[in-house]
Amino acid sequence: MPILLLLCCSIFTFFVLYAPQPLLMVFATQFGVSVASSGSLMSITMLPLAIAPIFYGLLFAHHNALHILKYAMLMLAATCIIFVYVPNFELLLLTRFLQGLILPAILTALTSYIGQQYQGKALHKNMTRYIASTIIGGYFGRMLAANFASFYSWESFYYVIATALTVLAITINVHLFEKNTHPISSPREYLKPLKEPTLLRLYLAVFCMFFCFSALLNYLPFILSTQFSIIDSRLIGWIYSGYFVGAILSLTTPLLKRHLYNNWLFLTVIFSVYSGSIIVLDTTSISIFVSAFTLFCACMFMIHATAAPLANVLSTAPVSVTNGAYVSFYYTGGALGSYFPGLVIEHLGYHAFIINLFVLCLCGLLLIHKNYKQGISTTLG
């Protein structure tokens, strides 16, 4: 199956995941709910993403991944239509939870197919393309949703997504997949990498990283509204461009690594900048805020791009076990970060919100720094 088709599937899947984020203020007003409650539209979707990859990994050991991909995308398209017509916020949450169950099936099927069909340099090249597609989907999902809400209606964007998902699903040829003959793994084996303290600290640092990232991007519309009086969905969508610019800046990671002699030192430095950018976000200048936000996003992508392969180097467990645990910690941080900071900003204000993120980011920095000190006399770096 053409890699371009797989990448399109990934992009529109991430449209579904992130489209509600710039619209949270719209949903809060439309359904008469609080800031924290509207933020739960993201956290309730990420919660299954923290658990489901483990079970889907086992499922795909005995089933055709493209077959699952095809029907999961059709189901996701159906939930997009349902999302438009639900009459109350509770059913909106239920629909997002169903999407959260379907999304990891699609993402696991995509990576399973790429991992099975490509080897060596082709595997690395196409996995890099897949990661790039997730960034593109995350950015344009937010930006287009905001612009559709401003120029047309947020519902119209969901019609576009549903149509695209349906067309892509129809074009998938399920007969191109060769069945995986590897023996099925026990779910208990997914916990084995956690027995290594160095790896556990890395996972916990990733949890802290994505907790802060999800919190800021989830409540960005409310921050822009309350701190800078920006309520136009179109302007909010363009400010999310810092996410995309940050992703481009993160391409300098290989160049920066040339000046730092191991991965732990690099992660320590980037985590320090990540923490500092959070403090700078507590400003009254929109230009400074956007600059700090762009730097914040760049640091997140640099940490993510370094931590994911480093986990595979450190772990002696099977690749699926290592990456399953990584994804679980990553999206658990995202699920919690999408909700609990909303309570802080709602009841204690923006300054308390920033302090909360800064403290948690410092925890991640301390975990990484401890690995750095431990790895100075070893090859772990």
Q: In this structure, are 242 and 152 located in the same domain?
A: no
Q: In this structure, are 214 and 154 located in the same domain?
A: no
Residue 331, pLDDT score: 85
Q: In this structure, are 171 and 191 located in the same domain?
A: no
Q: In this structure, are 138 and 198 located in the same domain?
A: no
Q: In this structure, are 59 and 195 located in the same domain?
A: no
Q: In this structure, are 158 and 220 located in the same domain?
A: no
Mean pLDDT by 10 residues, the chain (381 residues): 86 93 86 82 85 70 77 95 92 93 85 71 70 85 87 91 95 68 55 78 94 90 87 77 80 74 88 96 93 92 83 72 76 86 89 95 95 65 50
Q: What is the CATH number of the domain that holds 191?
A: 1.20.1250.20
Based on the structure, what is the number of domains in the chain?
2
Q: Does residue 182 belong to any structural domain of this protein?
A: no
Q: In this structure, are 130 and 250 located in the same domain?
A: no
Residue 119, pLDDT score: 67
Q: Does residue 136 belong to any structural domain of this protein?
A: yes
Residue 185, pLDDT score: 54
Residue 60, pLDDT score: 64
Q: What is the pTM of this model?
A: 0.79
**Distance separating alpha carbons of residues 353 and 363, to the nearest angstrom:** 16
Query: Who's near 1: CB < 8 A, 6+ residues apart?
Result: 66, 113, 172, 173, 176
| Contact assessment for residue 145 and residue 157, using Cβ atoms and an 8 Å cutoff | yes
The token duo for 225 is 């509204």
Q: Does residue 157 belong to any structural domain of this protein?
A: yes
Residue 377, pLDDT score: 47
Range of the domain at 92: 1-177
**Distance separating alpha carbons of residues 329 and 206, to the nearest angstrom:** 7
Q: In this structure, are 100 and 16 located in the same domain?
A: yes
Residue 115, pLDDT score: 67
Could you tell me how many helices (H) and strands (E) the chain has, helices first? 17, 0
Q: In this structure, are 261 and 356 located in the same domain?
A: yes
Q: In this structure, are 106 and 75 located in the same domain?
A: yes
Q: Does residue 261 belong to any structural domain of this protein?
A: yes
